[in-house]
Structure 1
Amino acid sequence: MKKYHLPGVLTLIVLMAIACCSTITAQKPDSKFGGVQIGAISYSFRSMPDQSLEATLDYYVQSGVSSAELMGYTVENYLGIPQTKDKEALKKWRLSVPMSKYKDVRKMFAKKGVGIHILKLGSPDWSDEEIDYAFNACKAIGAKGITMEISEKAAKRMAPFAEKHNLYVIFHNHGQPGNPKFSFDDILAYGPKLMLNLDAGHYFGASGLHPNGIIERLHDRIVSIHIKDKTAKTASDPDKNRSFGEGDTPVYEVLQLIQKNKWPIYCDIELEYEIPQGSDAVKEVKKCVEYCKKGLEN
């Protein structure tokens, strides 16, 4: 009978256990289903107790999300922006930040398997130098563009900078499409680097129109779509956020349209419904991911 040296066997067992744990720990999220990249805006985790960048990254991993629309204030807080409302002090800090720090953030996210496709940073009210800073930060962090609220003012101000930096300004809508005088085309006409971060839920809830109509027509000007489930404009309680699958927004039809046409449009979960008692934002985003996955893999 072969004899085993006990300490050696125990060492082998310990090493195997460590290797196993390391494999589990190193497992990276993958939320691309049927060719469609499901992501999430970090705003979805705003109710979590720890709002640090490190914790936010962990929330993505725990939710199984591999692509991020990242709020700029989370990154700037991590990099040490002064906690003041003094515009000159903020400007001075922004113009002093080395872009290597944004590259480090990119590496930190990539190490855990999360890409950053949009950075929500910048404002049409910023100085020229600060707008340049926002685009430089966007490039360093590996995003396709910066995002902000849609308006003619923002389009007019930001279009030259987008072309200068060869990056996108990606405009997000709320209820504006509910106004008959509102036009996406008028905004986009200000420049070829102006794109849309179409909020399909807000669009549907405010206008009553199926989002696929505008998506089909403007798909080549859409970088990302915010996915949420809202009640219809004609519902008894109209235009209200609901848990995924409990509202009237045709979420599956939107996802399947993108899948069918193989359009490179990111679909980002924006968690805005009330979190049920006993749950939290990470658990709910994970449920939203599974809901989207079901619609894309059936």
Structure 2
Amino acid sequence: YTKVVAQWRSTVSMDKFEELRKMYNDAGVTIYAFKPRAFGKDNTDAEIDWGMRAAKTLGASHVTLEHPGDDVHTQKLGDMAKKHGIFVAYHGHEQQTPTFWDTALKQSKHNALNLDLGHYVAAGNTDPLEIIKSKHNRIMSMHTKDRQTPEHGKGNVPWGTGDTPISQALQLMRDNNYKFPATIELEYNIPEGSNAIEEVKKCLKYCEKSLS
């Protein structure tokens, strides 16, 4: 199956991606990132090329993937991203630290961060706002959720009940005119009687209140 997919990706037209971009843009939505499973060490160069071309066709500034933990691969992706005039933003979970991305960032100006602020807090990092301040010019996007510190159980909880400084982070972005998007990532358990749409609305209201 993977060989079939790789072959399809190497020859497929970008027309459908152009249609998808138009559909979203016509609805007032801008696509800023694309995350297909095409950037792993087991993917061909043609697949990586496809993923980056598709991202640009969609209007995205970057692609995202889990940090591969392989310096050779991050160098390769950074080099290929430069060729396409796009960025590769590496995501992390609880392995995130203040220096987690440093090697990839040194390798290429086209390597960047897809920071997850909630996971960063759950990993036990003591100053989550500092990484935004120190690496804001290399952050392409940020996943936003409310998680607890290890001392409090690392829970993924409704916004405003955990230890993640969401309000302060949004205010920091506003006050310093940082341009990267902060994504509402709904990962806490949805309460009985509610649904994902209603919970995202609550998260959005939390953001609006933080910035009012």
Residue 77 of structure 2 is aligned to residue 158 of structure 1: yes
Tell me if structure 2 keeps the 8 A contact 1:228–1:271. Answer: yes
Residue 90 of structure 2 is aligned to residue 171 of structure 1: yes
Percent sequence identity is 38
Cα drift, residue 294 of structure 1:
0.6
Residue 192 of structure 2 is aligned to residue 265 of structure 1: no
Give the AA of the match of 2:44.
S
TM-score (norm 1): 0.67
TM-score (norm 2): 0.93
Partner SS for 2:31: strand
**Runs of 5+ consecutive residues of structure 2 not aligned to the other structure:** none
Q: Which residue of 2 aligns with 1:124?
A: 40
Give the number of the structure whose alpha-carbon radius of gyration is greater.
Answer: 1
**Runs of 5+ consecutive residues of structure 1 not aligned to the other structure:** 1-85
Cα drift, residue 233 of structure 1:
2.1
Decide which of 92, 114, 123 is 2:29's aligned counterpart.
Answer: 114
Partner SS for 1:123: coil
Give the aligned length: 208
Residue 197 of structure 2 is aligned to residue 282 of structure 1: yes
Cα drift, residue 92 of structure 1:
1.7
RMSD: 1.4
In 1, Cα distance between equivalents of 2:68 and 2:127 = 22
Cα drift, residue 157 of structure 1:
2.8
Partner SS for 1:262: coil
Residue 209 of structure 2 is aligned to residue 294 of structure 1: yes
Tell me if structure 1 keeps the 8 A contact 2:40–2:68. Answer: no
In 2, Cα distance between equivalents of 1:185 and 1:129 = 27
The structure with higher relative contact order (CA 8 Å, sep 6+) is: 1
Superposed, which structure 2 residues align to 1:1-298 within 5 Å? 86-121=1-36, 122-125=38-41, 126-153=43-70, 154-177=73-96, 183-235=100-152, 238-297=153-212
Cα drift, residue 202 of structure 1:
0.4
Q: Please list the CA deviations of residues 125-151 of structure 1 after superposition, one character each: whole Å capped at 9, or x if unmatched.
A: 210111110011011110001100113
In 2, Cα distance between equivalents of 1:292 and 1:210 = 20
